[in-house]
Amino acid sequence: MTIQPSDSILIVDFGSQVTQLIARRVREAGVYSEIAPYTMAEAAFARMKPKGIILSGSPASVPDAGSPRAPQALFEAGIPILGICYGQQVMTEQLGGEVRPGHETGEGGEFGRAFLTVTQPCALFDGLWEVGERHQVWMSHGDKVTQFAPGFEIVATSDGAPFAVIADEARRFYGIQFHPEVVHTPDGAKLIANFTRHVCGLAGDWTMAEFRATKIAEIREQVGDGKVICGLSGGVDSAVAAVLIHEAIGEQLTCVFVDHGLMRQGEAEQVVSLFKGSYNIPLVHRDVEELFLSGLAEVTDPEAKRKFIGKTFIDVFEEEAKAIGGADFLAQGTLYPDVIESVSFTGGPSVTIKSHHNVGGLPARMNMKLVEPLRELFKDEVRELGRELGLPEAFVGRHPFPGPGLAIRIPGEVTKERCDILRKADAIYLEEIRNAGLYDAIWQAFAVLLPVKTVGVMGDARTYDSVCGLRAVTSTDGMTADVYPFDATFLTNVATRIVNEVRGINRVVYDYTSKPPGTIEWE
Ligand SMILES: Nc1ncnc2c1ncn2[C@@H]1O[C@H](COP(=O)(O)OP(=O)(O)OP(=O)(O)O)[C@@H](O)[C@H]1O
Ligand SMILES: O=c1[nH]c(=O)c2[nH+]cn([C@@H]3O[C@H](COP(=O)(O)O)[C@@H](O)[C@H]3O)c2[nH]1
Ligand SMILES: NC(=O)CC[C@H](N)C(=O)O
Ligand SMILES: [Mg+2]
C-alpha cells in the first residue's frame, strides 16, 4: 500500500492533454491529489477515500457511442464533484441532462479566449467573482450542454456556451465548460482552490515535504531489497531523483553517468566533480563516445537519432547492472512533459510530438523495471523539491539539457568534428549570457549547428562555412515557451565572437519562434 494523506482529491482522467495541469493546480492549492484513468477510477476512489472529485476534459465526445463515462458510484458518494469541459458534459449526461455535438447544433465550438458573465452567486466564485462581472476564460470545446440535469442551475454564461458554469449547490456538483487549469484562464487557479478549500473543506496544508515522504515510502515499497541503477546526467531532474532514491534505499543505489560525447564543453568533468563533491553516492562514469558516435554515423532522421540514443542508453545501463552483480531497477529523472510529448498518459489518443529518449525512445525489451518518482511533476516543482532536499543551487538552477545532447542540436549527420564546433560556439554563447547576468532570467539557452553552408568574407578571403543558430526561451514548465528578447547589441556581440573564434562557422542567426508552434529543441 502506498501512503497518502487522507485529505485528497481524486482526478478522473478522460485523456485530456492538460489533465496533469489540474493536478498541478490542486497541488498549488496545498492539496494532495492523484490522477486515475476513468477505467480505474472506482478502485482509486475506494483506496483513497478522497474528499472531492474532479472530472477532466477529453478528446472524446459524449454523444458518441462508446465514449468514456465516470463510474456511476462516484455521483452517489455524497462528496463534491467538479466537472471540467468533457467532465461537465459527461456529468450532465450521466445525471439526466443532454449534450449535443457541435455539428448538430450548427453553432460550432469555442476555441481559445472567451468571456463569461456571472449570473448567480456560487461557492466556486467565493471572494473572487461577483454577479454581473465579466471574466476572461479559455475554452476548447465543440460539443455543449443543451439541457442541464435536475438540481442544477446556470451560474455563469458565455456567448458560445449558455451553460458556461452550472451548479447544484445542494449536492455540491459543479460543471464548467472552460478550462480553469490553464494559465490563459487568469482566475483558474483560484477557482480550483475555491473548490478544494471552500467546497471540499480541505485545509491546504500539503507540502513538498509531504511529497518527499510519500515518494520515499513508495520507492521503498517498490524496490524492496533490490538494487537500483540511476541514470545521472548532471541535470536537475536526475540529481533530485538520485538524492530522493538514496534517501529511500541508501546503498542499494548506484548512479551511472553516460558520457556519450554529446555533452557540452567541460560538462562531463563538472558533473562528476560536483556530484562526487556533494554526495556520498557511488557514481560510475562511463566514457562511451565511440559507441554513440559510430552508431549515429549517417543517421539524419530526428526520431531515428532519438530511438538509437534511447536504446543505447539502456544497453549501457544494463552493462553496468551486470557489473554490480545485477540490478532489478532503472531509475530516471523522467518528468511529466517527457511523458506527454512522447506517449499518451492513459494510453489514449494524445499524439507523439517527439520521442524523449527516456520515454518514447526506450527499447521495447527492457530487463529492468523503471523507478521514476518525478513522473507526475513539472520542472519548477522538481526545483522546489530539490531545494526541499537541500541540493546545491548549482544543480537546482541549471538550465535543462536533453539526454540526447548535441545530437539533436546538429540537424543532419552528427560527427565528432561537428560536435566540437558546436561545443565551442555554445560555450561562448553561455559565457556571454552569464557575464550579462541573464542566466537565471532564461529558462534554456543553446546553440545549434545547421547543415547549411553560406558564403562569407574574412580577411579579404572567401569562406564557405556552417550557420550557427542561437536559441533562448523563457518558460515555467517546458510545455510552452516564449522567445527571450535579447537586445540587439548583446546578440551582435555574441555573433561576432562566435564567427571570430570558432573555425567552421561564418554566420549566426537568432531563432524567434515560440512554442507552440515551434518546440524548444530543433529536433
Ligand atoms: N548522460 C546521461 N547519463 C545518464 N543518464 C542520463 C543522461 N542523460 C539523461 N539521462 C537520464 O534521462 C533522464 C531524462 O533526461 P533529462 O534531460 O530530461 O533530465 P535531467 O538531465 O535529469 O535534467 P534536465 O532536464 O535538467 O537536463 C535523466 O533524468 C536521467 O535519468
Ligand atoms: O531528457 C530529455 N530527453 C529528450 O529526448 C528530450 N527532448 C527534449 N528535451 C527537453 O525537453 C524540453 C522541451 O523540449 P521540446 O520543446 O524540444 O520538446 C526542453 O527542455 C528540451 O531540452 C528532452 N529531454
Ligand atoms: N476539451 C474538452 O474536454 C472537449 C470535450 C469535447 N471533446 C468537446 O469538443 O466538447
Ligand atoms: Mg538533461
pLDDT digits (tens, 9 = 90+) for 438-489: 999 999 999 999 999 999 998 889 999 999 999 999 988 787 788 999 999 9
pLDDT at 349: 43
Mean pLDDT of 53-73: 96
| Residue nearest to ligand 3 atom 8, measured at CA | 141
pLDDT digits (tens, 9 = 90+) for 391-437: 998 889 999 999 999 999 999 999 999 999 999 999 999 999 999 99
**pLDDT confidence band for 350 (50 / 70 / 90):** low
Annotated binding residue at 201?
A: no
pLDDT at 342: 64
**pLDDT confidence band for 288 (50 / 70 / 90):** very high
pLDDT at 34: 84
* CA 55 – CA 70 distance, rounded (Å): 8
Strand partners, 100: 144
Active site residues: 85, 179, 181
- Residue of 43 and 394 predicted with greater confidence: 43
- Distinct helix (H) and strand (E) counts, the chain: 15, 20
> Are 173 and 76 spatial neighbours (Cβ–Cβ below 8 Å)?
no
pTM: 0.80
Place of cell 563538472: 270
pLDDT at 413: 97
Which three three-digit cell numbers place residue 246?
538514496
**pLDDT confidence band for 6 (50 / 70 / 90):** low
pLDDT digits (tens, 9 = 90+) for 363-391: 777 889 999 999 888 898 999 999 999 99
CB under 5 Å of ion ligand 4: residues: 233, 235, 401
pLDDT digits (tens, 9 = 90+) for 167-187: 999 999 999 999 999 988 999
Residue 340: DSSP 8-state = H
**pLDDT confidence band for 104 (50 / 70 / 90):** confident
Cβ neighbors of 128 (< 8 A, separation 6 or more) are 187, 190, 191, 194
Evaluate if residue 348 carries a pLDDT over 50.
no
Evaluate if residue 126 carries a pLDDT over 70.
yes
Q: Could you report the predicted ipTM of this complex, rounded to two decimals? A: 0.90
Q: How crowded is residue 119: how many other Cβ atoms within 10 Å of its Cβ?
A: 15
* CA 320 – CA 85 distance, rounded (Å): 48
Q: Which of 20-34, 90-104, 238-252, 506-520 has the highest mean pLDDT?
A: 238-252
pLDDT above 90 coverage of the chain, percent: 77
Angle, CA of 349, 353 and 356, to the nearest 5°? 110
Q: Which of 379, 521, 522, 523 to mutate to test the pocket of ligand 2 (most atoms within 8 A of CB)?
A: 521
- Residue of 500 and 349 predicted with greater confidence: 500
Query: Strands 153-158 and 228-231, how do they pair?
Result: unpaired
pLDDT at 351: 57
Give the range among 203-212, 295-304, 405-414, 482-491 with minimum mean pLDDT.
Answer: 203-212
Place of cell 465543440: 142
Burial of 327 (0-12, 13-18, 19+ CB in 10 A): buried
Which three three-digit cell numbers place residue 369?
523495471
R_g of the chain computed on alpha carbons:
25
Ligand minimally distant from the alpha carbon of residue 350: 3
Annotated binding residue at 193?
A: no
Q: Ligand 1 in contact with 404 (CB < 6 A)?
A: no
The dihedrals phi and psi of 138, each to the nearest 5 degrees, come to -120, 125
